Chains A and B, each alone.
Chain A
Amino acid sequence: MVYRLLKVELNKIFSRPRSYIGFVAIAILVFIFQLALYVDGKTYLTFLIQQLETNFSIQGNILNGYLITYIILQTLIVQMPLMVALVTGDLLSGESSSGTMRLLATKPISRANIITAKLIAGSFYTLLLVIWLGGLALGFGLWIFKPGDLMVLSTDHISIIPSSECLWRFFAACAVAFISLSVVTTFSLMLSAFSDNSIVPIVTTMAVIIIFTIVGTLDVPLFNNIKPFLFTTHMIVWQKLFQDPISTSTITKSICIMFAYIFGFLSVTYYRFIKKDILS
């Protein structure tokens, strides 16, 4: 039954124009980035590495497809929660606000199955968005700018990733980004179970992410104690895959914390939705 329900859920998601906003926005942004970097990338890069060039001699194709992809991922992945929440925040509450929840909940399907199907459909949508972003950025990046070693500048060090290692690191980064966005998926789904209005979960998800991100970036001792517990702290862990050596323990710890969040949000969602009186 979950499979049947899942097909219906995917059908619903992809029948709605709203679901394509994220894909269109990503395509436009990737195109703008690549065009901008194609036209003026060298100036941008010179500005970035001018201090380094006083001490080091940098040779080769620095402005390559991998660097472009890294820049695009770093910039756009911050916007992805909005695109995800736009669809997943609406999965339950949208049915309530449109009145179709009444019909859905009178069918011979358990409420747990309804959530499971919506969760899988929402996660599939999130995965497609990540693949779309990664695929467009990497595909066009490599096509236009050609491969090369990836130079990643951090505040305290530089990592040079050999071209041969970049591809798997990008795949791994997309997988970790998918787990990060799954936290957003389950969080917005949980809020969606509490609301009969689809705007509330979407806006609340964004508000929480913005607040947590700001708290996470402020260097205040009080906040330093809570930072490790904010899911937004761990959502950027994919960047650690572009350090040498890779800090496996940090990445594993963050992934575990994100899974704990996912489990927590899902438990609340199932409990709430199964107990809920459908009055809408």
Chain B
Amino acid sequence: MENIIELNKISKSFGAFNAVNKLSLDVFKGDVFGFLGPNGAGKSTTMRMILSLIKPSSGSIKIFGLELNSHRNEIMRRIGCIIEKPDFYLYMSAEKNLQLFSKLSDVDVSKNKIHEVLELVGLKGREKDKVKTYSHGMKQRLGIAQTLVHNPELIILDEPTTGLDPQGIIDIREMILRLKNEMNKTIVLSSHILSEIELVANRMVIINKGKQVVQGEVKELLSSQDLILSVEVEDGKVALQKLNGYKKEKFSSLENNTLKFSLSKNEIPELVDELSKTGIKIYGITYRRALEEYFLKLTQHSN
């Protein structure tokens, strides 16, 4: 597999604060790579280092097999990106903004190509309007158009669905899948929503406090049999007493009368049966995959 991005123990400190700490990861050709982490985990800092907006304090970055430090312009010519929110020259039209940024990408892009890309992102008919008249969703679409206009091999999207309405989120998701499936692009996508990554990415990394938590194939990481079962009961302590040590080794916590068990899917009916036999009132049963539960905890903790 051809390595598109190789981060080798990169770190970034701002004074005493370590935003990214010895992070290593690999993105392969054709990947939709999910970059997950709660707010402040170091996702944007890492993406900015990949895009040479920020210089790493230590470690090395290779993109397309080339050292970023020594081949920056060559690499950047082959990348399209949105970092945080897509910002444009508000006093110019969408068409003019795209013309301008494609010129800066050192590629001669025809007007037809610009119109084609604007049509792809659903902005046809608004190309002559000044960007200051655009809604956030339209700017986000224009941001995607800007990443595509010079036909890059690698696309980096930092939280591209932030602030979009549900239909806008679906549109962006579909666009990402089209870019991968029809145009064979490699895409790095950051988000703090696991389900969003799960729907589009084939590989992912979760980072927290600048460190890697887990990295691998999305299917493998999420298809684990380990589940976290949450059972909301009338009185958690009484329920535990009545269970009398049943599945004790699977019990993980009790919070606000919600018992949590770490078990596999086929153990759930057995446990629910046992709980019913105790006569305790059950108000709800939900389960999450262990990684999902872990990620939710990370997110809640960071918030």
For chain A, give the interface size range: 20 to 34
Partner among A103, A108, A109 whose Cβ is within 8 Å of the Cβ of B146: A103
Q: Within 8 Å CB of A46, what residues of B?
A: none
Min CB distance B86 to A, Å, is 8
Partner among A103, A104, A106, A279 whose Cβ is within 8 Å of the Cβ of B52: A106
Say whether B90 contacts A98, CB under 8 Å: yes
Say whether A107 contacts B53, CB under 8 Å: no
Q: Pick 17 A–B contacts, CB within 8 A, sort by A.
A: A8-B103, A12-B100, A98-B89, A99-B85, A102-B83, A105-B51, A106-B53, A106-B76, A106-B81, A107-B76, A108-B72, A108-B74, A109-B73, A109-B106, A110-B73, A279-B48, A279-B53
Closest residue of chain A to B48 (Cβ to Cβ) is A278
Say whether A4 contacts B91, CB under 8 Å: no
Say whether B101 contacts A103, CB under 8 Å: yes
Say whether B100 contacts A278, CB under 8 Å: no
Q: Which 3 A-B pairs have the closest CB atoms?
A: A99-B87, A108-B73, A108-B76
A7 within 8 Å of B (CB atoms) = yes
Assuming A107-B76, A277-B48, what are 19 further A-B pairs, CB within 8 angstroms?
A: A1-B106, A8-B100, A15-B91, A15-B92, A98-B87, A98-B89, A99-B87, A100-B87, A100-B88, A102-B83, A102-B84, A103-B146, A106-B76, A108-B75, A108-B105, A108-B106, A278-B48, A278-B53, A279-B53
A257 within 8 Å of B (CB atoms) = no
Closest residue of chain A to B55 (Cβ to Cβ) is A277
Q: Report how far A4 CA is from B103 CA in the complex, Å.
A: 7
A5 within 8 Å of B (CB atoms) = yes
A164 within 8 Å of B (CB atoms) = no
Closest residue of chain A to B79 (Cβ to Cβ) is A106
Say whether A103 contacts B87, CB under 8 Å: yes
Q: Within 8 Å CB of A279, what residues of B?
A: 48, 53-54
Q: Report how far A279 CA is from B75 CA in the complex, Å.
A: 21
B115 within 8 Å of A (CB atoms) = no
For B, the interface residue count at a CB cutoff of 8 angstroms equals 31
Q: Within 8 Å CB of A102, what residues of B?
A: 53, 83-84, 87
B77 within 8 Å of A (CB atoms) = yes
Q: Within 8 Å CB of A275, what residues of B?
A: 55
Q: Within 8 Å CB of B285, what residues of A?
A: none
Q: Report how far A92 CA is from B176 CA in the complex, Å.
A: 33
A60 within 8 Å of B (CB atoms) = no
Q: Report how far A109 CA is from B77 CA in the complex, Å.
A: 9
Q: Report how far A275 CA is from B53 CA in the complex, Å.
A: 10
Closest residue of chain A to B80 (Cβ to Cβ) is A106
Q: Within 8 Å CB of A15, what residues of B?
A: 89, 91-92, 96
Q: Within 8 Å CB of B91, what residues of A?
A: 15-17
Q: Report how far A105 CA is from B101 CA in the complex, Å.
A: 11
CB proximity to A under 8 Å, residues B94-115: 96, 100-101, 103-106
Q: Report how far A98 CA is from B84 CA in the complex, Å.
A: 13
Say whether B89 contacts A12, CB under 8 Å: yes
Min CB distance B163 to A, Å, is 14
A163 within 8 Å of B (CB atoms) = no
Q: Report how far A144 CA is from B54 CA in the complex, Å.
A: 58
Evaluate whether A109 and B54 lie within 8 angstroms (CB atoms) in the complex, with A100-B87, A100-B88 already known: no
CB proximity to B under 8 Å, residues A1-51: 1, 4-5, 7-8, 11-12, 15-17
Q: Within 8 Å CB of B84, what residues of A?
A: 99, 102
Closest residue of chain B to A277 (Cβ to Cβ) is B54
Q: Within 8 Å CB of A278, what residues of B?
A: 48, 53-54
Min CB distance A170 to B, Å, is 35
Evaluate whether A4 and B104 lie within 8 angstroms (CB atoms) in the complex, with A107-B76, A278-B54 already known: yes
Q: Within 8 Å CB of B103, what residues of A?
A: 4, 7-8
Q: Within 8 Å CB of A107, what residues of B?
A: 76, 101, 104-106
Q: Within 8 Å CB of A17, what residues of B?
A: 91
Min CB distance A71 to B, Å, is 36
Q: Within 8 Å CB of B75, what residues of A?
A: 108
Partner among B55, B83, B90, B100 whose Cβ is within 8 Å of the Cβ of A106: B83
Write out, one digit per residue, whether chain B residues 186-228 have a CB within 8 A of any chain A CB (1) or not (0).
0000000000000000000000000000000000000000000
Q: Within 8 Å CB of A99, what residues of B?
A: 84-85, 87
Min CB distance A272 to B, Å, is 14
Write out, one digit per residue, whether chain B residues 21-49 have a CB within 8 A of any chain A CB (1) or not (0).
00000000000000000000000000010
Closest residue of chain B to A97 (Cβ to Cβ) is B87
Q: Within 8 Å CB of B146, what residues of A?
A: 103
Min CB distance B117 to A, Å, is 15
Q: Within 8 Å CB of A98, what residues of B?
A: 87, 89-90
Q: Report how far A109 CA is from B74 CA in the complex, Å.
A: 10
Q: Within 8 Å CB of B88, what residues of A?
A: 100, 103
